[in-house]
Structure 1
Amino acid sequence: MKLIIAIVQPNRLEEVKEALTEVEVFRLTVLDCLGYGRQKGQKSAFRGQDLSINLLRKVQLQIAVNDEFVEPTIEAIMKGARTGEKGQIGDGKIFVLPMDDCVRIRTGERGSEAI
């Protein structure tokens, strides 16, 4: 079992959800978050003053999957989150973490069965 955490642009969320549905991944948690990576924020002007906005709005997806769904899930996220054919800086990042256990609260099921 793995926990996949993906940080993507908020405007790409619907495309990512559609791509995940195509590979039969239906369970996910979505959180609003702030951050920056290689793009290091944005520069803008407000009332004639230059402003540097370090933290950009992002969306974090948390998806628990069994081992056979890891690669299809990663590919689906990349397909939905990538801007254009080659992508752009700021498209996001995917982290894959080992998950020791999962428990379904309602039934008490554990492990792969609970996902």
Structure 2
Amino acid sequence: MLMVRAIVRPEKTGIVLSELLSGGFSAVTKLDVYGRGKQKGIKVGDVYYDELPKVMLLLIVNDEDKDDVIRIVMKNAKTGADGAFGDGRIFVSPVEEAYTISTGKSGL
């Protein structure tokens, strides 16, 4: 199992979630987060925005589904044809175990 953490622009969240659902990935945790990437925030006029609003989507998937999830997120979170700074990041890490609290069963 793998955890896919996708940090995306808030305005892209709806389409990303919709396409993940269409792709068979309905189990998602969504968190509103704030941060900055390589661009170190943005300056608009005299105002400097150090922390920008983003949405983090967390999915636990089987190893063989990783590429499909990444493809869906990359395609739908990108702004414009070439993308732009601030479109987000995807992180993938291993998950050793997962349990359903109500049943006590392990796995997905």
Per-residue CA deviations over 1:44-76 (Å, capped at 9, x if unaligned) read: 34xxxx221110000001101111211101111
5 Å-filtered alignment, 1:60-75, equals 60-75=56-71
Q: Is structure 2 residue 47 aligned with structure 1 residue 51? A: yes
Show structure 2 runs of 5+ residues with no match: none
Whether the 8 Å CA contact 1:17–1:80 is kept in 2: the answer is: no
Q: Say which SS state the counterpart of residue 15 (structure 1) adopts.
A: helix
5 Å-filtered alignment, 1:88-107, equals 88-107=84-103
Q: Is structure 2 residue 28 aligned with structure 1 residue 40? A: no
Percent identity over the alignment is: 40
Q: When the two structures are superposed, what TM-score results if normalisation uses the length of structure 2?
A: 0.94
Counterpart Cα distance in 1 of 2:38 and 2:9 = 14
Show structure 1 runs of 5+ residues with no match: none
Residue identity opposite 1:65 in structure 2: V
Residue identity opposite 2:30 in structure 1: V
Counterpart Cα distance in 1 of 2:44 and 2:84 = 20
Residue identity opposite 2:20 in structure 1: L
Residue identity opposite 1:90 in structure 2: G
Q: Is structure 2 residue 24 aligned with structure 1 residue 28? A: no
Per-residue CA deviations over 1:83-114 (Å, capped at 9, x if unaligned) read: 11221111000000000000001111102xxx
Aligned residues: 108
Over the residues paired in the alignment, what is the CA RMSD in angstroms?
1.1
Counterpart Cα distance in 2 of 1:81 and 1:57 = 14
Residue identity opposite 2:9 in structure 1: Q
